[in-house]
C-alpha cells in the first residue's frame, strides 16, 4: 500500500492527460494516431512508447525528444509524466469516457482536412466537445495536399512554410481564412498557432499538420502537453481516490469476459473488491482477478499475450478479469473500489446512479 511519505510527495504530482482524437470520417484521425505512435518506434530512437489496451502511452522523455527543435521547448519544463492517447478515433470512446456527466478526456484533437474544411461530423464533434466542456486543438491535416507542397518531414510549420512557393502560401492562407470563418459560424473562435496562442480558452488553436509526412506533429504534441499542464493543474493533480471508467466489455478466449478500463486516478490492486454497473439494473460486485497490460513488443514471443500486475497506478489503460467474468458490465460507466471503510450498499447505489446519469447523457447527446 502507499506509504505516508509517498502520499505527501504526491501532493503536487500531476497525472498524464488523456487525449481523444475526433473529426469527420477520412479527415485522417487514424493516420494521425499512427503518426504519433509510430514515428519514433520506426526510427528506433527515444522509445519508451508503450502500447496499452485501447490506448498508447507517450512518456515525457519521448515527447521531449520529439519537440526538442521547437523554440518553445527551450524554456518550458514538462510537469506531466506523459500523455495517454486513446487509440480508437471518433465519437464513441469520447462519449464513453465520462464521469458523472462531465468528460474524462482532458484534451481532444479535432482533425479537419484542409482541403474539405468543416463537415457534418466535425460539427457533431464540436457540439460534443462543447457539451462536455472539453478543451480541444484543431489539427488542420493534409497540408501536403496543397498543390505544389514541398514535404518537410517533422518540421515545425514555420520552417516548413519557408520552403513553400508563394502560390502554396497563398492557397494555405486562403483555406485557413475559410476554415476560421466556418468555425466562427459555429460560435468558435480559432487562430493559427504560429506564434504561441496565449488566450487558448477563448481562441482555439489551429495547428496545420500532415499526418502523412509529419509536418508540425512536434508542435501539436508540445501544445497538448504545455496547454494541459498549464491550464488544468487542478484537474490533473494526481489523487489517490480511484477514478476509473469502463471503456470496453470484451470476451477474450481463455480469460472470459473482461473489461478494458481507463484508470484516471488512484491505484488498482489485484484482489480489490470492485463494483461495476450491470445491465438488468444489478450492480456487479466482484474482485479483481488480474490486472493486465500488453506485453512489450520485443517480448511478443514469450508465452502469453499479457503482462500481469499486482498493482497499477494511474494514468493507464488496463484490462481486468474477475472470477465470474463481466458479461453484464456496461461500457461507459464508472468502476468503484470498495475500500475498508466503505459501505458496500452505498457503493452499489453510487454505481447504479452513475448509470442512470450515463443513460440521460447518452440520450441527450
- Among left, alpha and beta (phi > 0; psi -120 to 50; other), residue 324 is alpha
CA dihedral of 270, 273, 275, 279, whole degrees rounded to 10: 80
Question: How near is the Cβ of 146 to ligand GDP at its closest, in Å?
Answer: 10
CA atoms within 13 A on the CB side of 127: 11
Supply 176's cell numbers: 485557413
> H-helix or E-strand containing 166?
helix 166-185
Question: How near is the Cβ of 25 to ligand GDP at its closest, in Å?
Answer: 5
Residue 274 CA: distances (Å) to CA of 38, 238, 264: 35, 21, 16
- Annotate each residue in 197-236 with x if it binds ligand GDP (CB under 6 A) or - if it does not, as one string: -------------xxx------------------------
Q: Which residue has its beta carbon closest to ligand GDP?
A: 28
Question: How near is the Cβ of 49 to ligand GDP at its closest, in Å?
Answer: 19
Helices (runs of H) and strands (runs of E) counted in the chain: 11, 20
* Residue 39 found at the interface with ligand GDP (CB under 6 A): no
- Considering only residues 141 to 170 of the shown chain, the ones binding ligand GDP according to CB under 6 A are 141-142, 144-145
* Residue 25 found at the interface with ligand GDP (CB under 6 A): yes
Supply 116's cell numbers: 474539405
* Residue 29 found at the interface with ligand GDP (CB under 6 A): yes
Question: How near is the Cβ of 150 to ligand GDP at its closest, in Å?
Answer: 14
* Residue 30 found at the interface with ligand GDP (CB under 6 A): yes
Nearer to ligand GDP, 61 or 116 (CB): 116
Supply 363's cell numbers: 440520450
Question: How near is the Cβ of 155 to ligand GDP at its closest, in Å?
Answer: 14
Helical pair 29-43 and 217-231, crossing angle rounded to 10 deg: 100
Question: How near is the Cβ of 191 to ligand GDP at its closest, in Å?
Answer: 21
Contact set with ligand GDP (CB under 6 A):
23, 25-31, 89, 141-142, 144-145, 210-212
Amino acid at each position: 500500500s502507499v506509504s505516508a511519505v509517498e502520499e505527501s510527495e504526491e501532493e503536487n504530482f500531476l497525472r498524464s492527460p488523456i487525449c481523444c482524437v475526433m473529426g469527420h470520417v477520412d479527415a485522417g484521425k487514424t493516420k494521425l494516431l499512427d503518426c504519433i505512435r509510430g514515428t519514433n518506434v520506426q526510427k528506433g530512437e527515444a522509445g519508451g512508447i508503450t502500447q496499452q489496451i485501447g490506448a498508447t502511452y507517450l512518456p515525457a522523455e519521448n515527447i521531449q525528444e520529439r519537440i526538442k527543435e521547437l523554440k518553445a521547448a527551450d524554456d518550458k519544463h514538462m510537469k506531466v509524466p506523459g500523455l495517454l492517447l486513446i487509440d480508437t478515433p471518433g465519437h464513441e470512446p469520447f462519449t464513453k469516457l465520462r464521469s458523472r456527466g462531465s468528460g474524462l478526456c482532458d484534451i481532444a484533437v479535432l482533425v479537419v482536412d484542409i482541403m474539405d474544411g468543416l463537415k457534418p461530423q466535425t460539427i457533431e464533434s464540436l457540439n460534443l466537445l462543447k457539451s462536455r466542456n472539453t478543451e480541444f486543438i484543431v489539427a488542420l491535416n493534409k497540408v501536403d495536399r496543397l498543390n505544389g507542397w514541398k514535404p518537410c518531414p517533422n518540421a515545425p510549420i514555420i520552417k516548413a512554410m519557408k520552403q513553400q512557393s508563394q502560390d502554396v502560401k497563398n492557397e494555405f492562407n486562403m483555406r485557413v481564412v475559410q476554415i476560421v470563418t466556418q468555425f466562427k459560424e459555429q460560435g468558435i473562435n480559432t487562430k493559427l498557432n504560429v506564434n504561441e496562442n496565449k488566450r487558448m480558452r477563448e481562441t482555439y488553436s489551429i495547428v496545420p499538420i500532415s499526418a502523412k509526412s509529419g509536418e508540425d506533429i512536434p508542435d501539436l504534441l508540445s501544445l497538448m502537453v504545455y496547454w494541459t499542464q498549464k491550464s488544468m493543474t487542478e484537474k490533473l493533480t494526481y489523487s489517490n481516490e480511484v477514478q476509473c471508467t469502463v471503456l470496453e466489455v470484451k470476451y477474450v478466449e481463455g480469460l472470459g469476459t473482461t473489461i478494458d478500463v481507463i484508470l484516471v486516478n488512484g491505484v488498482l490492486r489485484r484482489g480489490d473488491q470492485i463494483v461495476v454497473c450491470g445491465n438488468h439494473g444489478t450492480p456487479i460486485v466482484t474482485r479483481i482477478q488480474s490486472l493486465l497490460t500488453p506485453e512489450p513488443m520485443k517480448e511478443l514471443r514469450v508465452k502469453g499475450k499479457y503482462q500481469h500486475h499486482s498493482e497499477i497506478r494511474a494514468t493507464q489503460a488496463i484490462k481486468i478479469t474477475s472470477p465470474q467474468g463481466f458479461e453484464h458490465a456496461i461500457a461507459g460507466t464508472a468502476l468503484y473500489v470498495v475500500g475498508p471503510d466503505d459501505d458496500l450498499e452505498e457503493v452499489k447505489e453510487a454505481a447504479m446512479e452513475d448509470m442512470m446519469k450515463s443513460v440521460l447523457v447518452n440520450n441527450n447527446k
